[in-house]
Structure formats: structure tokens, C-alpha cells
Amino acid sequence: MKLNSKILIPLFSILIFLPNSLIANNELAERGDLATSDEIILNEVNGGLSEKQQQIIAIAALTAKGDLANLKIELVKGLDASLTVNQIKEAIIHAYAYCGFPRSIRGLQTFMEVLETRKAQGIIDVLGDEASPINDDRSRYERGKEILGELTGLPQTGPRTGYSAFAPQIEIFLKEHLFADLFERDVLTYAERELVTISVIASIGNAEPMLQSHLYICLQLGLSPAQLQQFADIINSKVGGTEANSAQQVLNNVISELNYIPSEIKNDQSERKSEIFPQGELIENNFTGNAWHTRLVTDRDNFNTTVGNVVFEPKARTNWHSHPGGQLLLCTRGKGYYQEKGKPIQLLNVGDVVAILPDVVHWHGAAPDSEFEHIAISPQLDKGSVVWLEPVTDEIYNK
């Protein structure tokens, strides 16, 4: 899907890059085809990130978090996925611009340990290409300004505004160093550098405006909504639910503002209806939005439990409720939300299992951009039936 320039004009005029945007003009340049990488084009057709791209995200995210134990695991996976030594080094180096030298250097030291261990095991990893020499007589500032224009699709003209007028030196540093010294290095593509960028920003947290800006750039570079959804999934599995929830909300806003329809951001798995259980009957009470239920185990007396399959449309959810005997949720399709009273919302993915203790007040349902399906198991029925409470408000759901 091509981006709608009429929509992008007002959006890009308020973008704040990390650090904040250097855009000084609100007119959108005609979009060029920046997605020249065969890998990006192939994955656009297939609807997913390549294994290399997935490992770039995981490595960048764990570098930013300083989770060195898990970083070692992902570095090995990255090498096994045919990332070169220089590509991984470049991703960790690029990360420093967004999470600082200490995290980046610790990431590089961890990578050195991994390479030494593999060398001792007789594994010789591919070094890969070095960065090409820069043959351009223009100043680094002018080169950086041009690269920023390519990334955003916006001309870098006009007077400085906002923080760049307040502190002009940072605008110079950004264009000269970030967008020239780093982005000019062709060890990684622009799209790969942006995957590093959004992974670091999502992992350090509390930088949602910058994440939003870079998600727009990712779309401008040819990454699809489905691929960005996969990025959010990786943050959830490698970093945690809190960071993933924040990233998911920003991504939802970007997708909504650009008028993508839900089918354009779902992967094949989330689009496919369950081939195992029927959709069942529409639930009429204690739910917001449409949801359907199929009873799978009906012999309560002998098994002291109920088992059912529940399908939620996007945004549909249960009321607040509790189970005297507890409950288990087995997530089988799409993306969902789960929240216990007084705790943050958790993002649920296929394969997640939620163990809910007796009498814990909670709710669960679908994410805004995806249907959701789970098997619900309610054991210990002799302790009592479900206790239904008030609906989950939009304000709570949208947090």
C-alpha cells in the first residue's frame, strides 16, 4: 500500500526524531522508492521480517536494556542467521546514538566474548564488508541533511524551530554525526538502521514521540505494517510486556492515523480463522464488543472444570471478573490483552499461557488491531462460579 501524501503532510510536520526532529519545513516531498533492498521487497510480499532483521531487532533491544546474558544468546542466533560480524558490530555501534556509549560498549564486549568462544569451538564467522569510503566533497552537515531528507521524504529547508532554534549546536551535531557519520556507513541499510533505532527507543522507554517518528520513517523506507507488528512482538518476547505495550500503542496510533485497515497489519496466522474449533455462539452478556464461545468440555460433575474456546473481535473484551477456583488461558490466535486489577495491561501472543489465581479480579480480550482467540479452562468449580463485575471502560482499555 502506498502512503497517502495528504495524510503525511500534517503528520510529518510535527515529527520529533531521536533526538527531536530537525524538520524545518511542513511540505512533503514527493515520495521516492527508497525500498531498494531485494530483502525488503521479498519480505513485503511474504508479509514478515527476515531472520536477519529479526535478530537485528533482538540484538539492538537487549543491548539497550543491558541484558548481557540474553544478548549472548541472540548474538549467536544472529551469526547463525548469516549476519556478518561487521553487521552485528555496526548494529551495536549504531545503538549508542540512542542508548549511550556504556550500553553500546558493553554490547561490543559481550560480542567479543561470543566470538572468542565460537573460535575456541572451531567456528569461524564471516567478517563481512567494511564501510565503503565516502567520496563526497560536501560538508558532513550538508550530507547529513540530504540523508535526513531521504529518510523522511521531506525537504530539509526553512529556519530552525523549536529546540533546534533554542540549541542550534545539537541540530548541527545530529546532522553531522548521526545522519552523516553513522547513516552514511553502508554496512547496514537505512531500513536495518531504523530497525535498530526503533528497537532501542522501545526498549529504553519513555520516548514515545521519538518512536512514533521513526515508525513513520520505517514505513517511508518500505517496511510494512505487518513487519512493524512483528517488531512489537519481538520486543514483547525479548524485553518485556511493559515496553511492548508502550510500543504497541504507538504503532496502533501510527497505523490508525495513516488509515491502514486491519487486514493490512495482520500476518497470515492472525488472519486465519481457527481450523480446530468452530466460532461458536455470540456471547450476549458481560462482554464489550462481539465475542463467541464454544463449550469443549461439558461434563462438570466428573471433571470439576469447564473448557471453552473464545473468539474476540478487535477491541472486544470481558468485564472485570474473578474465578473462585482460578482460570487458565491458552492463547491460540491473534493478539490479546490481559490485566489484573491494579497492574499494567499485558500483551498476549500466540502460545502464551496465563495462569490466573483464585479470586484475582481481571479482564482479557482482543488488541485493537487483531482478532484474538484463546481456550479458557476454569478448574475447581466446586469452589463456585465466575463472579462478574463492571465493564472495562475505554479509558482503561486504551491505557
Query: Strand locations in the chain, DSSP E?
Result: 281-282, 287-288, 291-297, 305-312, 317-318, 321-322, 327-334, 336-340, 346-348, 353-356, 362-366, 372-379, 387-388
pLDDT given for residue 270 in this prediction: 39
> Buried b / exposed e across 261-291, counting CB within 10 Å, b at 16+?
ebeebbbeebeeebeebeebeebeeebbeeb
Find where cell 564501510 sits. Answer: 131
| Gap between the Cα atoms of 112 and 105, Å rounded | 11
Q: 281-397 is classed in which CATH architecture?
A: Sandwich (2.60)
Q: What is the mean pLDDT of each run of 10 residues along the chain (399 residues)?
A: 35 34 30 38 58 97 97 97 97 96 98 97 96 93 92 81 86 92 95 97 92 93 92 93 90 80 43 60 92 88 92 94 96 92 92 94 92 93 93 91
Task: Report d(CA 69, CA 151) in Å as an integer.
Answer: 34
Q: What is the pLDDT of residue 277?
A: 78
Decide: 101 and 60 in contact? Cβ < 8 Å.
no
H or E element, residue 82: none
Looking at residue 82, its amino acid is S
Q: What's the pLDDT score for residue 218?
A: 94
pLDDT at 164 (0 to 100): 82
Q: Which CATH number fits domain 5-263: 1.20.1290.10, 3.20.20.70, 1.10.10.1110, 3.40.50.970?
A: 1.20.1290.10
Residue type, 186: D
**Segment holding 200, helix H or strand E:** helix 190-204
Reduced to 3 states (helix: H, G, I; strand: E, B; else coil), residue 295 is: strand
Which DSSP symbol is given to 384?
-
Q: Within 13 Å of residue 341, how many CA atoms lie on the same side as its CB?
A: 12
The domain segmentation of the chain, as residue ranges, is: 5-263, 281-397
